[in-house]
């Protein structure tokens, strides 16, 4: 018989910290669904960020080969010890995930892995960007985020939700909103509903492409959203209108496009066609 979360927290004298985004899930059916939708099998190593009282960690441990979890709040040590007592395939590291060196984290995981997290709201974007830009062995990311953020991550081009983060994801793979989770499912309930997003990483999606240079063009594309891209390119790259228009035309794009109209593929092509310092006129 599962002990209710409130009784466990009371026993350990724990008051949840808003600053750490401590809104915990308790519904075991929902947690099992998240793990099911994440596609975790007994061959998978899972990285969980923010284990809380361990409800999701436990659901993951039942299915995965191994779970490595990071939790910033040391006060949760005795709680996690109790929740995860029956599992020998879980390792919890107490520390701030933002202060870890990602290659050290990946070395600990040992190979390919799935990242699963009910993310604390205050670091949602930095965590996603860190893994999207720098993770080497990640296969998939299954993250619970605020619902409006979820729709931004999985947005289609030329919509108001589409942004630099959407393109960043599409440079590594693709994102899909897989579940809505109403606020009442959390303890305590936050002010917003949430959704689970699954990001599948495609190995070498853009092989031999300088993604750092492409990301700079993406940043430029969204720097003044209302402006036409040609103007942003002229300002950022200090190039003439003709050079900017040629780069767009050579990439199969109209000179009137805005940054939000371009797919990740368009950005890759545009980055190749932009004149760089030292190019002969
Ligand atoms: N996984 C649990 C669940 O689903 O019920 C808890 C999720 S709760 C939204 C987020 C958790 O992340 C909290 O336990 C919080 O203490 C932890 N956390 C917040 N910031 C963190 C950080 N920088 N590094 C690691 N864990 C963090």
Instruction: List pLDDT tens digits, range 219-245.
Output: 999 998 889 999 999 999 999 999 999
| Chain segment 139-152, per-residue pLDDT in tens | 999 999 999 999 99
> Measured between alpha carbons, how far is 78 from 70 in angstroms, rounded to an integer?
15
With cut-offs at 50, 70 and 90, classify the pLDDT of residue 205.
very high
Atom of ligand 1 nearest to the CA of 31: 4
For residue 184, pLDDT over 80 is answered with: yes
Residue 8: pLDDT above 90? no
Gap between the Cα atoms of 218 and 170, Å rounded: 12
Closest-CA residue to 139 (of 34, 279, 8, 44): 44
Is the pLDDT at 35 greater than 70? The verdict is yes
Higher pLDDT, 131 or 10: 131
Give phi and psi for 150, each to the nearest 5.
Answer: -55, -45
Q: Per-residue pLDDT tens for 44-85?
A: 999 999 999 999 999 999 999 999 999 999 999 999 999 999
pTM: 0.94
Q: Which of 179, 178, 181 is nearest to 24 (CA)?
A: 181
Ligand 1: centre distance to CA 119 (Å): 6
Kindly give the number of the ligand 1 atom that is closest to the alpha carbon of 23.
9
At residue 269, the pLDDT reads 98
What distance in angstroms lies between residue 121's CA and the mean position of ligand 1's atoms? 9
Superfamily designation of domain 211-273: rRNA adenine dimethylase, C-terminal domain (1.10.8.100)
Residue whose CA lies nearest to ligand 1 atom number 8 = 22
Tens digit of each residue's pLDDT (9 = 90 or more) over 105-122: 999 999 999 999 999 999
* Ligand 1 centroid, distance to 53 Cα (angstroms): 9
pLDDT at 281 over 70: no
Helix, strand, coil tally for the chain in percent (to 5): 45, 20, 35
Model confidence at 5, pLDDT cuts 50, 70, 90, reads confident
Q: What is the CATH superfamily name and number for domain 5-201? A: Vaccinia Virus protein VP39 (3.40.50.150)
DSSP state of 204: T
The mean per-residue pLDDT over the stretch 121-128 comes to 95
* % residues pLDDT > 90 (the chain): 91
Centre of ligand 1 to C-alpha 126, Å, is 14
Minimal-distance CA residue to ligand 1 atom 19: 20
**How much is the average pLDDT of 187-213?**
95
- E-only strand ranges, the chain: 24-25, 45-49, 66-71, 90-94, 113-118, 138-146, 173-181, 186-187, 194-201
**Atom of ligand 1 at shortest distance to CA of 57?**
1
Residues carrying CATH 3.40.50.150, the chain: 5-201
pLDDT digits (tens, 9 = 90+) for 252-272: 999 999 999 999 999 999 999
Pocket-forming residues, ligand 1, beta carbon under 6 Å: 20-25, 49-52, 55-56, 70-73, 96-98, 118, 120, 123
Boundaries of CATH 1.10.8.100 in the chain?
211-273
> What spacing in Å lies between the alpha carbon of 50 and ligand 1's midpoint?
3
Compare 9 and 35 and report the one with higher pLDDT. Answer: 35
Query: Quick one: what percent of the chain has pLDDT higher than 70?
Result: 98
Please tell me the residue having the least CA distance from ligand 1 atom 1.
Answer: 51
The answer to whether the CB of 148 falls within 8 A of the CB of 178 is no
């Amino acid at each position: 018989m599962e002990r209710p979360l409130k009784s466990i927290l009371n026993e350990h004298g724990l008051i949840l910290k808003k600053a750490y985004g401590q809104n915990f899930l308790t519904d075991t059916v929902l947690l099992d669904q998240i793990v099911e939708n994440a596609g975790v099998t007994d061959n998978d190593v899972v990285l969980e960020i923010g284990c809380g009282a361990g409800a999701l960690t436990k659901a993951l441990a039942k299915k995965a080969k191994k779970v490595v979890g990071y939790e910033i709040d040391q006060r949760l040590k005795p709680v996690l010890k109790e929740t995860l007592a029956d599992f020998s395939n879980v390792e919890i590291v107490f520390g701030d995930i933002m202060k870890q060196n990602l290659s050290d984290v990946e070395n600990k995981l040992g190979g390919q892995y799935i990242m699963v997290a009910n993310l604390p709201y205050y670091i949602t974007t930095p965590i996603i960007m860190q893994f999207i830009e720098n993770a080497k062995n990640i296969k998939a990311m299954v993250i619970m985020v605020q619902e409006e953020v979820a729709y931004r991550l999985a947005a289609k081009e030329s919509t108001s939700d589409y942004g630099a983060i959407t393109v960043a994801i599409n440079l590594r793979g693709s994102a899909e909103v897989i579940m809505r989770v109403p606020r009442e499912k959390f303890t305590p309930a936050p002010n917003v509903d949430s959704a689970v997003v699954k990001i599948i990483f495609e190995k070498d999606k853009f092989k031999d492409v300088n993604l750092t240079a492409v990301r700079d063009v993406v940043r430029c594309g969204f720097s003044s959203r209302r402006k036409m891209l040609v103007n942003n390119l002229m300002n950022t790259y200090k190039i003439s209108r003709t050079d900017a228009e040629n780069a767009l035309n050579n990439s199969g794009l109209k000179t009137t496009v805005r940054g939000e109209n371009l797919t990740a593929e368009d950005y890759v092509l545009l980055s190749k066609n932009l004149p760089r310092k030292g190019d002969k006129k």
